[in-house]
Amino acid sequence: IQNNLSKHLFTLSVPKIPVVNPEAWSSDILVGTILAYLVSGGCVAVYLFTNHWLSNNFFGIVFCLQGMHFVDIGSFKAAATMLAGLFFYDIFWVFGTDVMVTVAKKFDAPIKLLFPRSLDGSERPSLLGLGDIVIPGMFISLMLQFDLHLAYLRHLKQPGSKPEYGRFYFWASMVGYLLGIAATLYVMFVWEHAQ
């Protein structure tokens, strides 16, 4: 299958055009590229025409993964400062005012995950903002990098040994995050309050 997907169909060339395109470029168009465009176009069509909560959540999760992939926090200090700041931001804007909840309910785009309360869709679904996934996800990614750094330092101390890659900080932060998300979902379903 991989050979068929990487089969060259044609080359797209764009000439140098002053102001619009200062450098000429070309790109090979592969079967896999065309297939990816067709599948993604189909997913977008399903979302636009049905506005179903599953298609909304699909795009929301994809946006979360892309956000965590492309944004690198860089240091633990920056991550801890950002998490502390967002903690107080959430307290004020989510619990102190109704601004964030109103925006999340009125803005019809995949900027939140929807959890239906009933199978027939008669009740309004519970919402979970993407920031509650992306920001902790970046922090958890940083903890995984820290575990890798510790493994590298242990390997430097014993050069002939096989490097062991323990994931203590990753799993500790992952368990803490999962407990926090479980508490959030519990509050959303039981007390019908925003996270």
The radius of gyration of the chain from alpha carbons, rounded to an integer in Å, stands at: 22
Task: Let me know if 90 is a catalytic residue.
Answer: yes
Give Cα 78 to chain centroid, integer Å: 19
Q: Which residue has the tokens 């801890």?
A: 80
Catalytic residue among 28, 98, 132, 147: 132
Q: Are 140 and 148 in contact (CB under 8 A)?
A: no
Catalytic residue chosen out of the listed positions 28, 72, 90, 147: 90
Tell me the DSSP string of 41-69: HHHHHHHHHH--HHHHHHHHHHHHHHHHH
Q: Compute the distance between CA of residue 84 and CA of residue 107 in angstroms, rounded to an integer.
A: 27
CA dihedral sign, ordered 103, 108, 112, 113: positive
Distance (Å, whole) CA 172 – CA 156: 25
Helix, strand, coil content of the chain in percent (nearest 5): 60, 10, 25
Residue 17 is classified by DSSP as B
Is 28 catalytic? The answer is no
7-15 CB contacts, 8 Å cutoff, 24+ apart: 7/31, 9/34
**Catalytic residue IDs:** 90, 132
